[in-house]
Structure 1
C-alpha cells in the first residue's frame, strides 16, 4: 500500500511525487498542462461549486467547511474510492491543489478524510 501526499500544483514536479492527481474542480490559473505533469485530474472529488463559494477559503470557517466537505465526500463515494485504489496501486500518490495557503485548503480535509476512513498513510 502506498502513501498519500499533498502539494501545491505550482511547486515543481519531482519524481518523489509519484502518481500526481489534481483534485481541484477548476484548472489552476497560470499553470500549463506540461508543467503540471499530471497523471490524472480528479475533478469530481473537489468540493461542490456552492460549497467552495460559501467557504471562500476563510480560515475562520475551516472547521465548518471540513464538516460540510466530508458530508459531500460521504454522499458521493466513487471519487474517493478511486483515489484509495490509486494509493493502493502506487507507492506514492500526491494530490495537487491550487490554493495559496498550505493549511487552509480542501486537500488537507481530503487527505485526513482518506486517512480516517480507509486507514491510508499520509504525509504532508
Structure 2
C-alpha cells in the first residue's frame, strides 16, 4: 500500500516506511519531527523541472508527462528502482512531500507510476 502525506502532517505508526520524495528539505521542519526512514532526493523532479512547474496547476499535465520521462532516465531511474525494491520489503510505504497542493505535486505522480509498475508485474 502506498500513501501520500504532507511533511507538515503528524507522523503516525500506520505510515509504515516513510520516504521524503522532495529535492529540498521542508521549511521549518527538523529531522526529528519528520520521523523519516529515508530521504530520497534523487527521486524528485530535476531542479529545472521543479522551478518551471512552480506549482502552477495549469502546468500540471505537462509537468506530469515530463516527470514520468525523468523517472525513466538517469539518476532518477536508479532511485525509482531503489524505491521499487523498498516496496517489496514493506507492506506500507508513505511518500512524504511538502507541497501545499495535495492533488498536483510530484508525490501524486510518483505514487501513480509506482502503482502502475506494480500492477504490470
- The TM-score with structure 1 as length reference comes to 0.92
SS in 2 for 1:119: helix
Q: Map residues 53-92 of structure 1 onto 2, 5 A cutoff.
A: 53-76=51-74, 77-92=77-92
CA deviations over 1:60-85 (Å, ceiling 9, x no partner): 11100000000000113211111111
The residue number in structure 2 matching 1:49 is 47
Structure 2 distance, partners of 1:37, 1:70, is 28
Question: How many residues are paired up?
Answer: 118
Alpha-carbon distance, 1:104 to partner: 1.1
Task: Find the partner of 2:34 among 36, 52, 60.
Answer: 36
The residue number in structure 1 matching 2:119 is 119
Alpha-carbon distance, 1:117 to partner: 2.3
* Structure with a larger share of its residues in helix: 2
Q: After the TM superposition, which of the residue ranges 76-85 and 38-47 deviates more from structure 2?
A: 76-85
Structure 2 distance, partners of 1:53, 1:43, is 15
What value does the CA root-mean-square deviation take over the aligned residues? 1.1
Structure 2 distance, partners of 1:54, 1:43, is 18
Alpha-carbon distance, 1:118 to partner: 2.7
- The TM-score with structure 2 as length reference comes to 0.94
Q: Write out the 4+ residue segments of structure 1 that deviate beyond 4 Å after TM superposition.
A: none
CA deviations over 1:3-52 (Å, ceiling 9, x no partner): 11111010000000001000000100001110100000000000000000
> Structure 2: any 5+ residue segments left out of the alignment?
none
Structure 1 distance, partners of 2:119, 2:79, is 17
